[in-house]
């Protein structure tokens, strides 16, 4: 058995659960063993497979039909289900689990699977309803196991080990990745089947998000720690846990703006990390530590040697980041996806089969062969740009029939669902990104820090450039000319580290090209930087200004982007 090909991690009280390995196939017991009848559930699927969504600004494989893609996904699901989906727990009749061998210390219990596997299985099952007539029964069985095997640290979370022993239920601490996927899957389940059946999916999701994930995983510095055994002020984090589109769904069902702050901070951590360690590649290491962020050392937390590399944890990152652009239109997700895809295409001479299972931050290969858990996420990232059509076509052909082991196959299936448009956005079909009325419009500012920080940098749609004012002076301002009077209802300010503590958003419709009459539409006195999403009663205006009156740092004012939206803005 090749131990180098099965690398994934969920940590339990600093005891390693390393990497998933190819397991012997086990026969499923007859369907319905110990399971409540399907008729106990709300009938029908609201979003039956295939949904075949076209995400705005994204591409799909162009050399095969949508029907052919749907069939490939269905075939792969049938294989995955027959190979890894089990419901033979004597200690929990009716409990389903995803069979996946783990490494690490299961405290004497014969481990059968993990919370990570439960999360993968619950998302996959919710998305495959319609193709699989038993999807809701299976989903509820997976959820039953997730709840029975609660974490020893926070009962609203799942312990990271599944073992066929009642004493294993409540014995283990948690792992962040599994719980994030489980909570997200409950939102999918709510939209797929409704919450008036045997399980109130929406209530369960809200409770898990608020009382479980936020309480135990969101740190005081808006990062994500590694488990409910980890500290709330921890600076260690794992980029494969940065499930940004999940967090937007969490925000939508809870109304808790903390999730937007987490998203903004994780983008900032990524920018800081890659600027210092992987500016030419955009890669991230399996674990990131410290402030400013840096790669974890080798053998971090007694894990494997490659914890400072782009390895079997970080390999999942490109899918997580590109979904934020595909589902919610955040240009930061596209910028990261384009960076990663541009590098890997060059590195492999445009051939996905040349992707290796491990890289240093500078892009030198440490692995020796291609495996789907590395290849598929890079293909998903490529769908953010039409320049990658040949790459996406070739990659689809490579991954659609690739069958390896629990870890690789499960994540491969998630990518197949996404690339084919069969991962729909909970709450509706794909959300159309609102039009940024200020994009590429002319701008004027009171001052600039120097060459390269001009006003137009805040309106170019590029999060790698920024406007910056003189350092140490108040007030300072920047405004955009929309070119004509528009009906506007909101702005989004994406601050660099030099932000405004007190500022106003002002509008003007002066017609002489030199606005002097400004109307206040929003005032902030306790700004904290990051991303400010501001809405106000819709008004007609040609010019929109940010007037900074008190700096939040000793420096100046600096914006990556200053966006203006009409009445359709979120």
Active site residues per annotation = 116, 177
Question: Strand, helix or coil at 424?
Answer: coil
Cα distances (angstroms) measured from residue 408 to each of 99, 100, 117: 13, 11, 11
What count of other Cβ atoms lies within 10 Å of the Cβ of residue 294? 17
Q: Do residues 490 and 537 lie in contact, with contact meaning Cβ atoms separated by under 8 Å?
A: no
Residues 113, 118, 124, 125, CA torsion sign: positive
Residues 179, 43, 203, 431, CA torsion sign: positive
The CA angle 93-98-102, to the nearest 5 degrees, is 115
Angstrom distance (rounded) from CA 9 to CA 455: 44
The CA angle 405-410-414, to the nearest 5 degrees, is 150
Question: Strand, helix or coil at 226?
Answer: coil
User: In degrees rounded to 5, what are phi and psi of residue 490?
Assistant: -175, 160
Which residue has 């600039």 as its token pair? 448
Angstrom distance (rounded) from CA 489 to CA 565: 6
Using a 10 angstrom Cβ sphere, with 0-12 exposed, 13-18 middle and 19 or more buried, the burial of residue 535 is middle
Read off the tokens for 120: 């993968």
Read off the tokens for 175: 């792992």
Give buried/exposed letters for 378-403 (b at 16+ CB in 10 A, else e): bbbbbbbbeebbebbbbbbbbbbebe
Q: How many Cα atoms within 13 Å fall on the side-chain side of residue 308?
A: 11
Question: Strand, helix or coil at 50?
Answer: coil
Read off the tokens for 452: 């390269």
Angstrom distance (rounded) from CA 229 to CA 173: 6
Kind of pairing between the strands at 467-468 and 97-98? unpaired
**What is the 8-class DSSP label of residue 367?**
-
**What is the 8-class DSSP label of residue 218?**
B
Using a 10 angstrom Cβ sphere, with 0-12 exposed, 13-18 middle and 19 or more buried, the burial of residue 292 is exposed
DSSP H or E segment with residue 522 = strand 519-524
């Amino acid at each position: 058995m090749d131990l180098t090909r099965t690398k994934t991690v969920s940590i339990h009280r600093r005891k390693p659960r390393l990497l998933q390995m190819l397991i012997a196939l086990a026969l499923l017991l007859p369907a319905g063993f110990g399971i409540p009848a399907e008729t106990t559930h709300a009938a029908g699927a609201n979003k039956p497979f295939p949904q075949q969504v076209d995400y705005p600004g994204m591409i799909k494989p162009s050399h095969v039909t949508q029907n052919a893609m749907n069939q490939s996904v269905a075939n792969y699901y049938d294989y995955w289900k027959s190979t890894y989906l089990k419901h033979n727990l004597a200690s929990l009749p009716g409990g389903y689990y995803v069979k996946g061998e783990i490494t690490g210390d299961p405290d004497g219990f014969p481990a059968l699977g993990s919370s990570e596997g439960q999360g993968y299985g619950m998302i996959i099952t919710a998305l495959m309803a319609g193709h699989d007539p038993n999807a809701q029964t299976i989903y509820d069985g997976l959820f039953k196991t997730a709840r029975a095997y609660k974490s020893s640290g926070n009962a609203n979370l799942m312990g990271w080990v599944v073992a066929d022993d009642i004493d294993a239920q409540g014995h283990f601490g948690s792992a962040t990745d599994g719980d994030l996927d489980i909570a997200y899957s409950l939102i999918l389940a709510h939209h797929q089947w409704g919450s008036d059946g045997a399980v109130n999916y929406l209530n369960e999701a809200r409770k898990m998000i608020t009382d479980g994930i936020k309480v135990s995983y969101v740190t005081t510095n808006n990062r994500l720690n590694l488990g409910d055994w980890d500290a709330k002020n921890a600076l260690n984090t794992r980029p494969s846990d940065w499930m940004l589109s999940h967090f937007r769904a969490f925000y939508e069902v809870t109304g808790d703006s903390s999730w937007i702050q987490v998203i903004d901070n994780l983008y900032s951590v990524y920018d800081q990390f890659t600027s210092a360690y992987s500016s030419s590649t955009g890669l991230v290491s399996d674990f990131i530590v410290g402030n400013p962020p840096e790669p974890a050392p080798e053998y971090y937390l007694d894990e494997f040697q490659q914890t400072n590399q782009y390895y079997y944890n970080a390999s999942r990152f490109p899918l997580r980041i590109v979904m934020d652009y595909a589902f919610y239109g955040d240009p930061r997700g596209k910028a990261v996806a384009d960076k990663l895809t541009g590098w890997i295409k060059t590195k492999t001479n445009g051939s996905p089969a040349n992707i290796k299972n491990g890289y240093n931050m500078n892009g030198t290969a440490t692995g020796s062969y291609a495996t789907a858990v590395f290849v598929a996420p890079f293909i998903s990232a490529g769908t953010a740009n039409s320049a990658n059509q040949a790459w996406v076509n070739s990659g689809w052909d490579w991954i659609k029939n690739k069958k390896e082991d629990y870890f690789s196959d499960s994540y491969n299936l998630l990518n197949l669902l996404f690339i084919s448009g069969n991962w729909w956005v909970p709450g509706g079909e794909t959300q159309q990104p609102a039009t940024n009325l200020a994009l590429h419009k002319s701008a004027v500012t009171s001052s600039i820090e120097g060459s390269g920080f001009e006003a137009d940098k805040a309106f170019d749609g590029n999060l790698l450039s920024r406007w910056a004012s003189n350092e140490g002076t108040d007030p300072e301002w920047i405004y955009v000319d929309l070119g004509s009077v528009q009906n506007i209802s909101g702005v989004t300010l994406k601050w660099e580290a030099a932000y405004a503590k007190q500022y106003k958003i002002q509008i003007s419709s002066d017609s002489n090209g030199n606005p002097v009459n400004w109307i206040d539409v929003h005032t902030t006195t306790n700004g904290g930087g990051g991303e400010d999403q501001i809405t106000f009663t819709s008004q007609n205006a040609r010019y929109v200004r940010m007037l900074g009156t008190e700096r939040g740092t000793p420096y100046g004012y600096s914006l990556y982007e200053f966006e203006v939206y009409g009445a359709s803005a979120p």
